[in-house]
Structure 1
Amino acid sequence: MRSLLPLLLIALLGLSCSKEPAITDDMLDSGKVFDPSLYKPELYLLSKAIPNPTPAQATRPVIIACHGYSATTFEWDEFRAYLAGRSDVYLSQVLLGGHGRSYADFKQATWRDWQAAITTEYEALVKAGYTNISLLLSSTSGPLLLELVASNYFSGRTAPRNLLLVDPIVVPSAKSLSLIGVVGPMLGYIDTNQPAAEDKVYYHFRPQETLQQLQTLLDVVRKDLEKGIALPTGTTLKVYKSKQDPVADPVSAVLIYNGVTNAAGQATDVQLIDSKLHVYTRLRLRSDVTTADQQNQTATFADIVSRVLR
């Protein structure tokens, strides 16, 4: 998810735009560019790659990695590269529902559709016999997961070992998202003005309908956190949060820390990262990546692996 500040600026200036964006063929939005997991799911989803694991494979740690709003499996490609050659952990990259396809598909999908892709892979792995599953979630996948926990989705199911949230969004940095219900229908969509290279892996245009879905999801999760969310027995949660996140206000981490406890009633683990990036673990296609950014990424990847191998 990118900053929504342009939304507020456009609304204040009283500008209008066409209800349908000018989509070119080389954009993800076009329906001619697709997330690669749709072509070869066995390269991304463990449930497709090894649907019938041996007893040894079934007990090996599995990390289900899920991306954020308007993104694709690309968001965790660098983590896949980091794990390349390892035989002690599996990675399953999930494409959220409605994502990685056309603008029209994205526009009509609800946040429940986004979330369904997570549970589909989780249930497929459990059915196949995998017993050691963790979830790694960036940005909007964070609240999608928190809602599952709050609604007792894991009750009666194999509980995940670790829930690992990178820059989860509960409160947006740009407060203009709260206005989407009023100005969204007038705007139709938001133009991100992102670099052309990112157009193939992130939606260039954000339909106002999807922003309303995002706002609804965040409202639900904030209320869940106010009531309190208890993790399943045997499940731990850690939040990795960029200190100067331009998309997900760092107060998001505070709300999660205050609102989520493990089964024993203990607070969750929050690590603040000295970074100005949103989803700081994704560095490809960014400009001006620093040595510190690279060190943050490597340290976080190492910590994630160490936690799932415990």
Structure 2
Amino acid sequence: MTTLAPTEPLPRFAVFGAGAVGSYYGAMLARAGVPVVLIGRPAHVQAMRAHGLRLQTADFDERIAVHADTDAAAVAGADVVLVCVKSGDTEAAGAALHPHLGPQTAVLSLQNGVDNAERLARVLGRPVVPVVVYVAAGLEGPGHVRHHGRGDLVLAPFPQAARVQAALARAGVPTTVSDAVPQALWTKLVVNCAFNALSAITARPYGWLWAQAGVPEMLRQVVRECVAVAAADGIALDAAALDADVERIAHSMATQMSSTARDLLRGHPTEVDHLNGHVVARAHAHGLQAPVNHALQTLVHLLEQGRGA
């Protein structure tokens, strides 16, 4: 494990987009004494300032003192910025961050989808590190995040990786640095394409979905469409292994509802255009078809319109 030298200062972190995922990692860093500021929505920031950030996990339930702000300017002076906004807000996040980043600041994209780092880099005019995030967390209310499982990160290589990895390890966040991040992002995308939209459409958890007649075969078709599109984009995926992953998640996360489902229930915009919709768009770009992904995307759009999201 990489460690920081005793005399080496801890890197300063900023979390831009402190929702459930950003708040979890921000809380873990703050709890370990790593300097961090969380930038989020006013009600959440107000609650964190007044009472600290309550983090509930299987091992502890604590209120953690954190620095919190609503202004992107709060990232000034950070060595590392963790971008955790929804995929639809990527370009706006880049525009807000751009004036406040130092020349050596490492920008990491901890977002769903496969192209956010690339989109963010275009806005910022600088490299952005793609990160694969494996965590289940939810906001229970302003100033309160509940951790449901995992928390490990896979980072693409970048110059400051060892120092960042050491700080995250101090915070109890397992990390690896890998050249295979594009494949890992696509693998995660496929699982999200399988469950997120369908969980949102039915307002049901993964285990219930898997038990319904026709659903396992439908999910296998989603996987095959994704694998074909990934191959056209130069990413080789194993369809049989992905089928097994989908079935495993249906059982191991049987009571879990997707983030897309939670967004719909709250009347928030979903990320479906960057999940199933990304597969559809890339399929069309290559002259392919992705009819099941397209149907799922369309049905989520209809629900968004019906619920005013």
TM-score (structure 1 length as normaliser): 0.29
Question: Quick check: which one's helix share is greater?
Answer: 2
TM-score (structure 2 length as normaliser): 0.30
Higher relative contact order by CA 8 Å / sep ≥ 6: 1 or 2? 1
